[in-house]
Amino acid sequence: MNTEEVVEKVIDGVVNINVQKIVIDRYMRMEELQGSGSGFVICKDTIATNYHVVQDSEVVYISTTKGKNFQGKIYDYDKTLDLSFIKVEGLDIDPLPLGDSDKLKVGEMVLAIGNPLGVLGTPTVTFGIVSALRRMIYAGETIYEDLIQTDAAINPGNSGGPLVNMRGEIVGITSAIIANVQGIGFAIPINTLKILLNSLQKYGKIVRPTLGINGVTINDNLASYYNLPVNYGVLIVNILPGSAAERAGLKMGDIIIKLDGKEIIGIEDLRYKLETSMDKGSSEISLIRKNMELKIKIIPDLREK
């Protein structure tokens, strides 16, 4: 499809989100703040967006491209992944098609669609390429892993909107821009959202198994630069105190290559395989430590947020 056809296919499923928040200032006075962002329809009555767009919101207002306005309710969220779901009664907009972010290639053309600066009306569209994949960025004390980097312009208010490939499929959720740096924006892979959506549909809430690690996907460049013994898997760069990983004896620098005998390609693949094995209760991790392969039994933690 050409650019115009892609936009026509998805534009009606992109919405503007306005929120109201009540905060307490330093003098213990209540103050009402307003903010805005973007989102997109993933079910007839459900919108996906960033958690930081609706964080601590008292009221969530939704505006569509057709000029209709709704009041939504936060259904569930995952703060660590910066994703949130909003329930909107009577929305009745066809869900947008979700692609496969694992198939993205550097250099692939993408569109970022959203409502920059909270301007109502038809969402704006910016065009660019996938600049890099599986990037990690630090935002305060939070580490965001496995992000898509793009040079498609992402402005304040775009957060939570879709990143779309040239087949009209959603491949990411635009999430972050870096101050004082031009031409760099980040999006959360759509496969990450699919994991949460599956849990939401199965359990009625987000329940996720977690090892309590921060890791990066190993590729040829990373393996060559650090002289790693494999060019696939997950390199552990941080272990959270008190986590399942710490209890099982995992260490920083370990390389996870298999889960329950199935090869792990990268961090998203590890998350997916953990999700599919969640009902088992425990899993066996195969890892490389100092060029030796080890097998360790681990019982993932289950968390609702």
Which residues are part of the catalytic machinery? 52, 82, 159
CA distance 67 to 178: 32
Tokens of 231: 């060019």
Task: Pick the closest to residue 142 from 224, 57, 207, 55 (CA basis).
Answer: 55
Q: How far is CA 99 from the centre of its chain?
A: 14
Q: Residue 133: which residues within 8 A CB-CB, separation 6 or more?
A: 104, 106, 148, 149
Place of tokens 């600049």: 131
Per the DSSP assignment, residues forming a β-bridge with 73 are: 87
Which helix (H) or strand (E) segment holds residue 191: the answer is: helix 190-203
Task: Pick the closest to residue 111 from 159, 36, 53, 172 (CA basis).
Answer: 172
Length of the chain: 305
Which helix (H) or strand (E) segment holds residue 198: the answer is: helix 190-203
Amino acid letter for position 132? A
Three state DSSP letters for 65-113: CCCCEEEEEEEEEECCCCEEEEECCCCCCCCCCECCHHHCCCCCEEEEE
